[in-house]
Each structure stands twice: as C-alpha cells, then as structure tokens.
C-alpha cells in the first residue's frame, strides 16, 4: 500500500505477515464468540437493525441516539441473508482481522527508515491486537469498533496518497475522512476535525503538498454533501441533528471527568518518564544510552505487573503512551516542519479523547486499541530519530512495550474485565443457542437457555401480527423472531429512550400492544432505572398468562 514501507521479512512473501495477522486476529474473534455474548449490546444493535430492515426510518419514525451507518450495515446484512447470528459472527471476524492488518501496514509505514527491519517490528507491534483487536474484547457488531476500522482505512489511504499522490487517491482520502462521524459521532467528529487540521498544517508548511490538499478537501466536501443530502431526503437533517447530536449530547455529552485520566499523575507518569528519558539519554555517552533507557523503561512495566489488578488494567496505557507520542510529534514538528505523518500521533490522541466522551477510559476503549498500537509505533519512530545512536534503542523499546501490551491485554480480555456490567463469568459450562436464527450465540450461565425457551414459546404462541415487547430489552428477540418492533424503543434504558413510562404506555395503546414479556433474571448486573415503573405502566390492565423460566408473559 505504501511505497515507503514495502520491506518484508527477509526471504518471505510480503503478504505472509498480513495474512498471518489477519488469520490470528480473526480466529481469536471467532473463538471469543463461542465464549461470551453481551446480550444487551447485541439486542440494541440487531433489534434496531431489524426495524430498519422492515422499513422503519430512524430519526424520522423512531428515536436513535447514535449515528446511522452501523445500524444500516446490519440492516443490509439482515436483508441480504436474513436473521442469522452466524452472519454477524462472520462480520465481526472479518472486520477484526482487517483492522489488525491495517494497523500493521500503518505501523510499518511509521517505522520505515528508522529501524533496520520495519516489517518485522510492525508485526511484533501488531501482535497485541490478537487479544485486543477491535472485536476481541466485545466480539459482536458495534459502532465503536467499526468507526475505528474506518479511521484506520482513512489514515492508510491518506498515507498512500502522500507516498504516491494522485487526484483519485486524494479524493478518496478526503471522502473517507467524513465516514467515521456517521458511524460514531464522538470518534468520527474528533477524527474529522483533527485529520483536516493536520492536513491543513502540512499544506501551509509545504507548498508541494497543496495540490493534494485541494483534491482532498474536494473529496471531503463532495462526500459530506452527498451524505447530508441523503440524510435530508430520507430522514431530514433536522431530525438527525435532534436525535443523534442534541439528544445524544444530553445523555452522554462532553464531561471533563471522563477525560480526566489524561491529567492524572498516577496514570500518565510512564509517558512522562519516556519523555524524560529522551532528554536524559541524549546527554549520555552512546555506550550508556541503551542500558539506561531500557532499564528505566522497564520500571513502569514492572510496577504495573503487581498487583494483578494493575497488570490487567491495560486501558490505562492509553494516556501515557498517547501523551508521549503527541509530545514527541510536536517537538519533531517544531524542529522539522509540519507534515501529516509527523502530526498523526496528535490526530490519534485526539480521536481517542473523543472516544472517551462516551464512557470514560474504562468504558470506551474496548474497540480502539489499534490507536494505542499506532501510538507505540509513533513513539518508536521518534525515538529512533531523537536517539540515533545506538539504533537498537527504538526497536527494543517497541518490542518491550508490545510484549507487555500483549500479555496484559490477554489477561484483560480473557478475564472479561471490560464486561463487569454483565454476568460474563457466570458459573457453569458455556451454553449455545438452539434457536435457528441464533445459532452461534454462546455464553456461560443460564441466559442462553432461558432466551431459547422464551423465543420458542413466542414463536409458537404469539401470532406474527401481534405487537409485543420485551422488558427491559436486553434480548435480541425481534432479530431472532424476524418481527418488527412496534414501540418506538427496543431497549428501555434512560440513555436509549427519551420517553417516560407514561409516554411509552400511551404509545402501547396507540399501536395495540398485545404482549408484554418481562425478564426477571437479567444478564445485566444492574437493572435499568426505568424498569419497574415501565413494567407497572405496561402491565396495569394486563393478565399474567404464563412464566417461561425467568420470563413473565402478560397479555393486554
């Protein structure tokens, strides 16, 4: 893809490393799907996509607090293949593998010319993405991982256009910059602003880059115009802005405490140590530089290895490494002039900060670990430029960071540390769904068996035209049954639905809601705050028909 980074492992096919990385990352994602299922996330995306596949228009006909492309993509898969969860497993498997390969390609570009074996080092840097890839931690289709994939595609395309500039490449790069914001607003919005800013800085600093910049801006304007026109014609831009931006910001808008980790000394000190080591090491005689730098770098890694909770808390590596990469990038920019590839760490850091606006450092980073790997690659590249002798410092530092990230990340993912909001480590064997459309859905505990039982009951006892609802909505019931939701919400959590229980009860009367199915044993650790009042509102004049495991079935 890049003319500057085509070196491969000696004597090996240049495709061997990408193929192996794709296979390893995809295989891990596939395996994870046999071990864990986050029912509430699966349900929200796929039940909403089922509604869209049936013809309902988001924003105009029902509220949606997220950007549309994730749901439209899954709706298209449902239209093409029907409701078969194995399709979603295949989707996540392929996307997970592609994201790891793209990270490898970009990392190789960042270290080419700095280390002796850029392909080998980039491959080592990408290894942590086997347990930490976009679909390794939460292995089901979701908007954060898909937005990260498109960010990687856009970055790779921009670097390819820089290396081999043509109008077509720059037009495509500009168009791709606009796409992530329509998958996830905070990730895509931060990336859009920062990527354009970096390209403008490059163009202002280098007259030779301005022709490509003009084509890039043209592609961006054309793509953004087409996207906004499509929104206006299908849903109305006013409806889109009202739900995906105004309402979304009221639920999970900008909150400084969510990005406070980037100013927490207990979190960022390893990054400050790296920056200090660069200054100190440059003043040492060359024979002493490598031992001093590498021994000092091992200090934070050893410190994080005990206690186990600190070792597993791999997401706290984002602030120090992104800060170190950004500061080194800004110093190099001041020294050598602004270039997009030099400023890329700042773009990645800002994109990660935008991601944290949703759920903070612990909740938001599960689908963006490629950005952390690229930060390590950028640190390695700049170490090689600032500490030219001995040349071994930069690659050895990269290998140490990558191996620690791989070990820590494996523990993080396999212990389901990110999934503490559900009963992800329930006792007992892994259960696998027997319901035809959910083949492949697997999780420990009673949840899959319970879900199968109620789905078979609904299929056999609830007429296809009867409107029904599952409360609180953590089950992919509409997707599994291939039936269109009739209420304006499919998941009754305060950040997902703007309506009060009284308003939802009124909607239920308007659509002739016939069945209310209440789940009493949730995979969610905490019951949604609207649950009890909503159950009371929707079952006030209903009759309890039966119980199927933990489900109560009411007929209105």
Q: Is the pLDDT of residue 384 over 80?
A: yes
pLDDT digits (tens, 9 = 90+) for 249-268: 776 555 667 788 888 898 99
pLDDT digits (tens, 9 = 90+) for 72-86: 999 999 999 999 999
Tokens coding 30? 């596939």
Q: Give me the residue spans of the domains in the chain.
A: 22-419, 447-555
- According to DSSP, the residues that pair with 443 across neighbouring strands are 431
Tokens coding 384? 């090689």
Element counts in the chain: helices (H) and strands (E): 23, 6
Nearest CA-CA partner of 464 in 510, 508, 514: 514
pLDDT band (50, 70, 90) for residue 70: very high
Say what the pLDDT of residue 8 is: 42
* Helix residue spans in 446-514 (DSSP H): 447-461, 477-481, 501-511
Neighbour count for residue 405 (Cβ, 10 Å): 25
- According to DSSP, the residues that pair with 516 across neighbouring strands are 469, 554
Average pLDDT over residues 34-59: 97
Average pLDDT over residues 112-128: 95
The Cα 300–Cα 352 span in angstroms is 22
Which residue bears the tokens 């690229």?
374
The Cα 494–Cα 44 span in angstroms is 13
pLDDT digits (tens, 9 = 90+) for 511-535: 999 999 999 999 999 988 888 999 9
The Cα 267–Cα 273 span in angstroms is 12
- According to DSSP, the residues that pair with 422 across neighbouring strands are 524
Q: Give the 3-state secondary structure of residue 308.
A: helix
pLDDT band (50, 70, 90) for residue 6: very low
Say what the pLDDT of residue 12 is: 57
Say what the pLDDT of residue 360 is: 87
What percent of the chain is modeled with pLDDT above 70?
97
Backbone CA torsion sign across 385, 390, 391, 393 = negative
**Residue environment code for 441-472, b if the CB has 16+ CB neighbours within 10 A, otherwise e:** bbbbbbbbebbbbbbebbbeebeeebbbbbbb
The Cα 392–Cα 92 span in angstroms is 37
Say what the pLDDT of residue 255 is: 60
- Mean pLDDT of the residues in the chain: 93
What percent of the chain is modeled with pLDDT above 90?
85
pLDDT digits (tens, 9 = 90+) for 224-256: 999 999 999 999 999 999 998 888 877 655 566
Phi-psi region of 428 (alpha: psi -120 to 50; beta: other; left: phi over 0): left
pLDDT digits (tens, 9 = 90+) for 398-428: 999 999 999 999 999 999 999 999 999 999 8
Name the CA radius of gyration of the chain, rounded: 25
pLDDT digits (tens, 9 = 90+) for 319-350: 999 999 999 999 999 999 999 999 999 999 99
Q: Contact, 298 vs 321, CB < 8 A?
A: no
Q: Is the pLDDT of residue 9 over 50?
A: no
Neighbour count for residue 261 (Cβ, 10 Å): 20
Q: Give the 3-state secondary structure of residue 11.
A: coil
The Cα 258–Cα 119 span in angstroms is 36
Neighbour count for residue 477 (Cβ, 10 Å): 24
Average pLDDT over residues 485-508: 90
Q: Is the pLDDT of residue 495 over 80?
A: no
Q: Is the pLDDT of residue 7 over 60?
A: no
Average pLDDT over residues 153-159: 98
Say what the pLDDT of residue 474 is: 95
Q: Give the 3-state secondary structure of residue 55.
A: coil
Q: Is the pLDDT of residue 440 over 70?
A: yes
């Amino acid at each position: 893809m890049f003319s500057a980074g085509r070196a491969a492992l000696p004597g090996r096919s240049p495709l061997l490393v990408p193929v192996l990385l794709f296979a390893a990352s995809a295989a891990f994602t596939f395996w994870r799907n046999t071990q864990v299922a986050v029912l509430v996330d699966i349900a929200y995306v796929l039940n909403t996509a089922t509604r869209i596949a049936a013809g309902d228009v988001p924003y105009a006909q029902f509220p949606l607090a997220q950007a549309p492309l994730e749901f439209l993509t899954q709706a298209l898969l449902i239209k093409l293949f029907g409701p078969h969860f194995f399709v979603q497993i295949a989707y996540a498997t392929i996307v997970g593998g592609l994201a790891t390969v793209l990270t490898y390609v970009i990392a190789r570009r960042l270290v080419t010319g700095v280390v002796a074996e850029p392909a080998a080092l980039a491959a080592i840097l990408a290894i942590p993405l086997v347990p930490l890839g976009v679909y390794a931690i939460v292995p089901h289709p979701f908007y954060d991982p898909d937005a990260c994939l498109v960010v990687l595609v856009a970055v790779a395309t921009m670097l390819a256009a820089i290396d081999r500039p043509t109008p077509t490449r720059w037009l495509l790069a500009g168009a791709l910059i606009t796409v992530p914001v329509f998958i996830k607003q905070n990730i895509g919005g931060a990336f859009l602003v920062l990527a354009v800013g970096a390209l403008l800085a490059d163009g202002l600093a280098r007259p030779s880059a301005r022709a490509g910049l003009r084509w890039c801006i043209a592609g961006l304007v054309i793509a953004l115009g087409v996207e906004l026109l499509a929104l206006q014609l299908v849903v109305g831009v006013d409806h889109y802005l009202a739900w995906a931006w105004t309402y979304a910001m009221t639920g999970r808008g900008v909150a400084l405490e969510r990005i406070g980790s980037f100013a927490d000394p207990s979190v960022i000190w390893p990054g400050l140590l790296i920056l200090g080591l660069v200054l100190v090491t440059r003043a040492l005689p060359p024979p002493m530089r490598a031992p001093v730098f590498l021994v000092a770098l091992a200090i934070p890694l050893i410190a994080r290895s005990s206690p186990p909770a600190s070792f597993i808390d791999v997401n706290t590596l984002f602030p120090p490494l992104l800060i170190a990469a950004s500061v080194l990038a800004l110093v190099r920019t001041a020294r050598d002039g602004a270039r997009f590839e030099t400023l890329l760490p700042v773009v990645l850091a800002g994109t990660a900060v935008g991601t944290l606006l949703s759920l903070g450092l612990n909740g938001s980073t599960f689908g963006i670990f490629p950005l952390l790997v690229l930060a390590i690659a950028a640190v390695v590249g700049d170490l090689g430029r600032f500490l030219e002798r001995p040349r071994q410092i930069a690659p050895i530092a990269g290998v140490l960071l990558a191996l620690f990230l791989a070990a820590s990340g494996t523990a993080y993912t396999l212990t389901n540390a990110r999934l503490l909001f559900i009963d992800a480590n329930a006792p007992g064997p892994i259960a696998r769904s027997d319901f035809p459309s959910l083949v492949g859905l697997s999780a420990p505990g009673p949840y899959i068996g319970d879900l199968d039982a109620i789905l078979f009951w609904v299929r056999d006892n609830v007429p296809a035209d009867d409107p029904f609802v599952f409360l609180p909505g953590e089950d992919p019931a509409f997707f599994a049954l291939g039936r269109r939701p009739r209420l304006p919400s499919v998941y009754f959590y305060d950040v997902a639905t703007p309506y009060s229980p009284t308003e939802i009860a009124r909607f239920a009367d308007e659509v002739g809601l016939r069945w209310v199915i209440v789940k009493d044993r949730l995979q969610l650790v905490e019951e949604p705050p609207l649950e009890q009042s909503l159950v009371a509102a929707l079952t006030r004049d209903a009759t309890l028909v039966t119980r199927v495991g933990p489900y109560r079935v009411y007929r209105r």
